[in-house]
Amino acid sequence: MLNIVIFGAPGSGKGTQSEKLIEKYHLTHISTGEILRNEIEHDTKLGQLANKYMSEGQLVPDEVVIDILDGLLADNPDSVGFIFDGFPRTLKQGEALDKMLSKRGERINVVLSLEVDDEELTDRLVKRGEISGRSDDTPETIKSRLQVYYGQTAQLKEYYANQGNLALIDGIGTVDDIFGRIENTVDKLKY
């Protein structure tokens, strides 16, 4: 199995690069953000809960997202591998993911951390907010999403560096340039 975590700040290109990874390596995409937005769209109980946090740019509680993950792994026993996009976002989620995978005799093969500066991140998200309008792409919410990233999520890089799984990817350039850098890293993995 090939299990990849695609990591990075809001707007770093996790979703964009996930699409290319899925196409090439046939992985099952798990985006907690997309799952939660879908729940909000259908106005489910989970959606109502998640919306309280997401509309403020805050994280949904760990137990909630860890439960979602557990269910998805159980629902996809035949997958050739997963791409985790937007999960984990806290140390607690990172530890939970390691446990869930090791229970299945699996592990994370690589964490691809898309490195993009704040100015570019903000530009990308503001632009998207003007066009398609994800409801959390407003200047104020973008600011708190970035704060949450640096305060609660970025520390996972150290966690994965200690495991020897962290690959820093320059996330600036064209989508294809960046994917080229990702392929270089993934194709060298032994799994």
Instruction: Enumerate binding residues for Mg ion (CB under 5 A).
Output: 14-15
Residue 170, classed as helix, strand or coil, is: strand
* Distance from C-alpha of 77 to C-alpha of 87, rounded to nearest angstrom: 19
Taking the complex as a whole, the smallest distance from the CB of residue 153 to ligand AP5 amounts, in Å, to 9
* Distance from C-alpha of 8 to C-alpha of 142, rounded to nearest angstrom: 14
Taking the complex as a whole, the smallest distance from the CB of residue 142 to ligand AP5 amounts, in Å, to 8
Taking the complex as a whole, the smallest distance from the CB of residue 86 to Mg ion amounts, in Å, to 6
In contact, 90 and 153? CB cutoff 8 Å: yes
| Interacting residues with ligand AP5 (CB under 6 A) | 8, 10-16, 32-33, 36, 53-54, 57-60, 65, 86-87, 89, 93, 124, 128, 145, 174-175, 178
Question: Which CB atom, from 106 or from 120, has the smaller least distance to Mg ion?
Answer: 120
Specify which residues 170 forms β-bridges with: 115
Taking the complex as a whole, the smallest distance from the CB of residue 162 to Mg ion amounts, in Å, to 26
CA 68 vs CA 18, 26, 42, 97, 189: distances in Å: 19, 21, 16, 11, 28
54 binds, among Mg ion, ligand AP5, none (CB under 5 to 8 A by kind): ligand AP5
